[in-house]
Structure 1
């Protein structure tokens, strides 16, 4: 403490108040700088024993993308609107909502930002939600393959391929002509109101299963990325 005339100045209290005020104000202006101020807060405590208040602002940025909890609660919508790029580990929205001019992208850094905000416990919850979703999808997958009509067509093509695969013209490759005919035969079984056949719906089902598995893989990579920071 320093006494100036009749006024006692507590330097530590003044510095603490100044830092609390500025860290809060600057973080609200630029949320993407939250990590720098958090490190400065820790440094002030370690070096000078100045214990600063928590500003209770979200530890993230405005451009972190969709939140991992939001995706988890709407996993069925997510897998149908996003496509997964395995090479660059990124989801890209190909069907925007409400005729929006913008599309969402989800990267490992985006999920890591959500994990930083909610904690690592959200990873187990996400995996459990996705597991329950996959159980339903694999049930539909199995029902499709065990359908009598589909099974009959597949068995017919399998018998034909097994008989002719060693011929010179076939050379262990399933001919495009028969594949095209198979698609047309499946289409004769019926189409839905959107003009999609059972095979088209099955293809969409496989894509959604792959997207769900890719999302779990990205959550795992994001958790490792978060722990490495």
Structure 2
């Protein structure tokens, strides 16, 4: 059975990370605690490929990664998103958002009811990648997170590949690769050495589109699994 992980104290957790000892570049998860094996995390990893100037995001599950997708609802409002997510302590400014805007995460997502990759052809329900900025919002549920909304009239700093929706989300077109139990994404940077030792975690989750663009638009409604078990971001990119 899917389980909801309480995240009300997420900012307190993140603030405490600076005092924690360095972890490994792989976060090993407790297995068998999620009914659907496609979302039952075994390991989450961020590795630094200095030769190619890339961060390599990887996650393995007990089942087949990417095998389960949301059912089509036929409309945008109330539709569902399934995702493999790496929350990080990378500052959002590193990928084109305002500094300190929230929790920057790389997400591999699929959703059959809408297209949020206008610059890239994801062929409808195919899995694709996003940068998202997460923040807590009680409107999504007690202790729940959302992809941060852009208020009406606001003009925040946004990446060049922002898809034009009122969210702090980017559609950079980094193609996820699925192989049996593993999903992997390679992300290029100008200087990948800046991210050695950055903290991260691994999450599988379901999100839901709200009925209004600002009430809020995209909530995390089900956290299926968290690699660390408590969203403490114990991993360190190496």
Higher RCO, 1 vs 2 (CA within 8 Å, ≥6 residues apart): 2
Q: TM-score, normalised by structure 2?
A: 0.20
The structure with more radius of gyration = 1
Structure richer in strand, relative to its length: 2
- Quick check: which one's helix share is greater? 1
Normalising by structure 1, report the TM-score. 0.20
